[in-house]
Amino acid sequence: MDCCDHDHDEMDYLECAKVGQKIRHFSMEAYDPAEGGFAVVDSEKILKKKKWLVLVFYPADFTFVCPTELADLAAQHARLKKLGAEVVSVSTDTKYAHLAWRTSERLLQDVKFLMAADPAGHVSRFFDVWDGESGLALRGTFIINPEGVLVSSEVNFYNVGRNADELVRKLEANVHLMKHPNEACPAKWTPGAKTLAPSEALVGKVYEALNEN
């Protein structure tokens, strides 16, 4: 069952998370590689610390594209943390499988972020990445701001890996815009580049605004 179904016997799955709206509270068990033990991911506790929450869903442990993605994410983890983000990877495996995979797969040796377990698919359904036929989560990346608003959503099919550089760029843009809500970031924006100030004067004049000295 996904969040578009309407079965009131199921838990609160009637609405999925939507960009621009606040998420509902969720919690998941997790393996914490940094501490070498188990932990709990609690969205409310993270957001109360005024942190950004980055959720990276992937299909399964002990697969093929997935460890390359988590290794890439680990390489950018320090930059994401510096921007104020709590990074959490999520699959429908158990916390015990996460521990075993993290221990045995050499590509994961630098993974320090929390590896959350969603075996019943509750959180995967809420973020609309649940694949009911396989019981797995698609490759979904979500950025939630410190106010609990979902500001970015990306979903890929199983066979295409993501690029954590772009995740960093999107978080940088969203952090900037939270501080400067009257601005907008154009394509390929990076810190220090020009932003746009939407107004009637800008209509049809974007080229001039981006290229003026």
For the chain, the three-class secondary structure string (H helix, E strand, C coil) is: CCCCCCCCCCCCCCCCCCCCCECCCCEEEEEECCCCEEEEEEHHHHHHCCCEEEEEECCCCCCCHHHHHHHHHHHCHHHHHHCCEEEEEEECCCHHHHHHHHHHCHHHCCCCCEEEECCCCHHHHHCCCEECCCCEECEEEEEECCCCEEEEEEEECCCCCCCHHHHHHHHHHHHHHHHCCCCECCCCCCCCCCCECCCHHHCCCHHHHHHCC
Q: What pLDDT, on the 0 to 100 scale, is given for residue 213?
A: 72
pLDDT tens digits, one per residue of 115-168: 999 999 999 999 999 999 999 999 999 999 999 999 999 999 999 999 999 999
Q: What pLDDT, on the 0 to 100 scale, is given for residue 178?
A: 97
Catalytic residues: 66
Q: What pLDDT, on the 0 to 100 scale, is given for residue 1?
A: 41
Q: What pLDDT, on the 0 to 100 scale, is given for residue 9?
A: 37
> Please, what are the domains in the chain?
27-179 (3.40.30.10), 182-213 (no CATH)
Can you list the residues of the chain whose pLDDT is less than 70?
A: 1-14
